[in-house]
Structure 1
Amino acid sequence: VWTFSTGVLGGHEGQPLVVGSTMYVVTPFPDVLYAFDLTREGYPLKWKYRPDVNPTALGIACCDAINRGAVFADGKIIYNLLDGHTVAVDAASGRELWKTQIADMGQRDSTSRPARFSGQPTTWAPTPRCSRGPATAGTPAIPTSA
């Protein structure tokens, strides 16, 4: 049995992501990403990435400040932040590779977990935009390399 406290008491709704011998866990706001080494006793922390998230997002967010988790693609861990950004982190080092805005928190846009499609090395599906009206789907320009 193994336990780890992220220090965040809110709803942890994103499942852990296991890639090879590393387990990745994303917290609810402030959207911290942890990487654990599954080959060593006690599953020690390999690295921790704490993104720069606009703190006003917490007061604007509807229905809790959860995070639906991350995806792995091309050596990157990709996930959405509460403030409407998507971030890519190097899976081996925890270094931020890129960050881009995909939603406008001032418009109360919502983001969820990016979806990874097998056989498509850099393809993912962003969450539809929902902002006080009909939902619309879009394809934001997401960098494909660091």
Structure 2
Amino acid sequence: MSRIPQSLRRRATGITCALALGASALTGGAVLGVGTAAAATPPVLTITLKGSTGWGESVTGGTGPCKEFVNGTPGTLSYTPPISETIDPTLNLVDKARMKPGMNTVYFECSGTKSNTAFFYADRSPLNDMRTQFSSATNGMFGS
């Protein structure tokens, strides 16, 4: 085993310290010059049952303006959270035109962030109501 002379060890230690200080000065200057980024809070969509023919949708979180999408078709209104709306094809012809029998999707986009996609099932029946409530309870994770 060879020994490293004392003079080389001191020189190596000095160079290592100089490199570490230089790197931390460069990194520290870059980090200090940049402010912290605040992540946008995504909106959260919840679907409920309304009456015997419609659905309620509520959105919390996110910042406006928000746009509703039903089956990929954007709505004409702009919303600001918190949002509480009713989808009822028997009362609103716009809702009827955007919906189809069976599975329908709805989500909101608020200032570039998208909510979870919820599924609701038309026409209202006990089975479709259970599927809608399951989708809402799992934040649309399972289409059912």
**TM-score bin (small chain):** under 0.3
Point out which structure has higher relative CO (alpha carbons under 8 A, 6+ apart). 2
Structure showing greater Rg: 2
